[in-house]
Amino acid sequence: MGGSRNIAVGLAGTALSLLAGFALFIAADGAGAVAQQQPLAEGTFVGVATCGGTTCHGRSVPNSEGEGVVRQDELMIWQDPASAAGAHSRAYAVLEDDRSEQIMQRLRSSNGADWRNAAASNEPRCLGCHSTAGDPDGGAAYRPATFRAEGVGCESCHGPAARWLTSHYTVRGDHQANLDRGLRRLEDPAVRASVCLDCHFGNEAREQFVTHEMMAAGHPRISFELDLFTTLQAHHNEDRDYDQRKRRVGNAQVWAIGQAEALKRSLDLYLSDRGRQGIFPEFYFLDCHSCHRPISDDPNPNVRRDLFNLTRRIPRGVPPYNDENMIMLAAAARVVAPQRAARFEAASSDFHAAMGSSAGNAQRMVAAARRLRGEADALGAAFAGTPIGRAQVFAMIDAITSRAITERYTDYAGSVQAVMATDTLLSSLVASGEISQQAVMGIRGDINSAYQAVREPNVYDPGNFRASLGRAAAAIRRLR
Ligand code: HEC
Ligand code: HEC
Ligand code: HEC
Ligand code: HEC
């Protein structure tokens, strides 16, 4: 595989922007050479360079609509040094910076028996998400060292390409044939969510999980919303051609399905071995700020005791489950699947109660988690079944900012979801041509101040937050 060596040299010795040049050089025969070595086992990676020829995905200017099937400048967007769109190409490099070194030092100093690797760039529990992940069974293809430096490459999301490269090579080839050979159906929001969540939440099987131990050592918290994050890293156009080939799914629908998938993933992992750290629950799954807040013996304490949240039926002083996706799903269900909304609410409420029940047998919690998962699954299916129209999008924004829902924003994570949701839903109206870009410009300031209210977790204040979210919602309502 000459191609893979070339790219390694390219990354080590030259600026990343030269990557495209290397890709051009090898792609002419690189893809062919890889294909000739068939049969390569399923799950074998061929590397970014194989995708990035100038006649493939390595153009420096995009095709315009009607000219080609896809933009073809995907490589350039993926490696954009300045924006979120290029974050995946930088994912490995961050493992070599000071921040990662400090994380590793702290992990070793408190738990040296478990953290023997000196460098994050050599630690499977970091590489699992910060580089192209490999075969979960740890075969020869497992995170091949050659492709590590590429960070999160094309195949991390689109699937290991050894088996589908040749059939994919034919322009306007048979998409289904590629899918059968392992190309992932990323146009399906549930499939896409599952791929992103492996790294943007966690996965049971692979070394893809940020434990509370890693967070306590300095790993940033992880926040994810499918539609917003898709847009931030998008290197494709959902034009007429795309719609014909793949059927475009509206942004509001992507958002709602993403919420259901996120809750399902969270509960699945919580019920797996990931859910425990020794005799404790793994704190990653809980509301961070239920533990991380000031404490006082003062009879008139100046601490935020009023954060108690009546919709989480759990005794005071017990850390509740992080309910960011439950809140969003409750709001979406009211509008899109009202017949299921009450059952979902009841299942969420029982789950919280089971987490804190002193009759506290694990069985009750497990049963409640399974039931809640089932409700989330049913909601996801309902969201996938019908497009979400203009009136429903406005109604969902109303629901997210209604009193019944805002009283549940006592937690930072849920509040961040609420702002991302408001932004996403508003953008979905622009994308579908329901409201003009200009109209949105006028209220951008209100949205930004809601973002501002969740910028810094330590000064997060539920009252302030609700007020600025309310102002954003009022501005949006005027566009109705
Ligand atoms: C479950 C996947 C996952 C694992 C495992 C993981 N990370 Fe991360 N890491 C992420 C994601 C996702 C982000 C980006 C968070 C965001 O901005 O939303 C990130 C961000 C970071 C950042 C900040 C990068 C920046 O641009 O600011 C550093 C540093 C980092 N990780 C280091 C590590 C180290 C060191 C390890 C191993 C001890 C590790 N990560 C393990 C997923 C993971
Ligand atoms: C973080 C995940 C991720 C990475 C990494 C990634 N993609 Fe994508 N890509 C997506 C998603 C999501 C879509 C949009 C959904 C779809 O496939 O229709 C997409 C769409 C595309 C499309 C348009 C498909 C169409 O039918 O119009 C092309 C082409 C593409 N990606 C190529 C690449 C190449 C080349 C790379 C590497 C340089 C890459 N992607 C890296 C997630 C990713
Ligand atoms: C193999 C792991 C992996 C997969 C799969 C993955 N990501 Fe990421 N993603 C990361 C890591 C790690 C970072 C942080 C990189 C950094 O900050 O340098 C990141 C960063 C991002 C960012 C930039 C966030 C910011 O704060 O700037 C976006 C947007 C993003 N990912 C979207 C997606 C989407 C959408 C998908 C699914 C289509 C996806 N990612 C799949 C690992 C992954
Ligand atoms: C059940 C209680 C609990 C929950 C929930 C919890 N933590 Fe912690 N956290 C702790 C304890 C205990 C420590 C160790 C404090 C020490 O060593 O001084 C800690 C330490 C930390 C630290 C390092 C010390 C510091 O204050 O800077 C960070 C960062 C951190 N946690 C982040 C998080 C994040 C992010 C979440 C949510 C995903 C979270 N924690 C959820 C109890 C909790």
pLDDT mean values, one per 10 residues, the chain (480 residues): 26 27 31 43 79 84 78 92 94 96 97 93 92 63 72 93 80 81 94 97 91 97 96 92 91 98 98 93 94 80 66 87 97 96 97 84 92 98 94 96 89 94 95 91 90 89 89 90
Q: Which residues neighbour 97 within 8 Å (Cβ) at sequence distance 6 or greater?
A: none
Q: What is the pLDDT of residue 293?
A: 82
CA count, 13 A, side-chain hemisphere, 57: 22
Tokens of 95: 């493992």
Please give the radius of gyration of the chain, using alpha carbons only, rounded to the nearest integer. 23
155 within 8 A of 45, measured Cβ to Cβ: yes
Q: What is the pLDDT of residue 20?
A: 30
Pick from 267, 388, 398: nearest CA to 326: 267
Q: Which residues neighbour 340 within 8 Å (Cβ) at sequence distance 6 or greater?
A: 333, 375, 378, 379, 382
Q: What is the residue type of 41? A: A
384 within 8 A of 434, measured Cβ to Cβ: no
Q: What is the residue type of 115? A: W
Atom of ligand 1 nearest to the CA of 224: 18
- What's the rounded Cα separation, in Å, for the pair 138 and 314? 41
- What's the rounded Cα separation, in Å, for the pair 421 and 402? 14
- What's the rounded Cα separation, in Å, for the pair 415 and 275? 24
- What's the rounded Cα separation, in Å, for the pair 53 and 75? 9
Q: What is the pLDDT of residue 167?
A: 80
Length of the chain: 480
The answer, yes or no, to whether any atom of ligand 4 lies below 6 A from the CB of 321, is no
132 within 8 A of 149, measured Cβ to Cβ: no
Ligand 3 pocket test, pick from 233, 251, 257, 424 with the greatest ligand atom count within 8 Å of Cβ, gives: 233
Angle at 196 between CA 195 and CA 199, to 5 degrees: 105
Angle at 62 between CA 61 and CA 66, to 5 degrees: 140
Angle at 6 between CA 232 and CA 164, to 5 degrees: 60
- What's the rounded Cα separation, in Å, for the pair 167 and 172? 10
Q: What is the pLDDT of residue 98?
A: 97
Pick from 442, 454, 447, 453: nearest CA to 471: 447
The answer, yes or no, to whether any atom of ligand 2 lies below 6 A from the CB of 74, is yes
CA of 98 relative to ligand 1 center, distance in Å: 13
As a whole number of Å, the end-to-end CA separation of the chain is 57
The answer, yes or no, to whether any atom of ligand 4 lies below 6 A from the CB of 293, is no
Residue nearest atom 40 of ligand 1, based on CA coordinates:
126
Ligand nearest to the CA of 221: 4
Q: Which residues neighbour 112 within 8 Å (Cβ) at sequence distance 6 or greater?
A: none
Pick from 214, 222, 200, 223: nearest CA to 103: 214
Could you count the other beta carbons within 10 Å of the beta carbon of residue 191?
Answer: 14
Residue nearest atom 36 of ligand 4, based on CA coordinates:
288
Residue nearest atom 12 of ligand 4, based on CA coordinates:
291
Tokens of 287: 């509301």
- What's the rounded Cα separation, in Å, for the pair 54 and 49? 11
| Torsion sign (Cα): 184, 186, 187, 193 | positive
Q: What is the pLDDT of residue 275?
A: 96
- What's the rounded Cα separation, in Å, for the pair 371 and 360? 17
Q: Which residues neighbour 146 within 8 Å (Cβ) at sequence distance 6 or greater?
A: 1, 4, 5, 7, 8, 47
Residue nearest atom 13 of ligand 4, based on CA coordinates:
216
181 within 8 A of 46, measured Cβ to Cβ: no
Ligand nearest to the CA of 214: 1
Q: What is the residue type of 240? A: R
CA 325 to chain centre: 12
Ligand nearest to the CA of 231: 3
| Torsion sign (Cα): 432, 435, 441, 447 | negative
CA of 102 relative to ligand 4 center, distance in Å: 17
The residue with tokens 């400048």 is 73
- What's the rounded Cα separation, in Å, for the pair 142 and 132? 9
The answer, yes or no, to whether any atom of ligand 3 lies below 6 A from the CB of 71, is no
Provide the greatest CA pair distance for the chain. Answer: 76
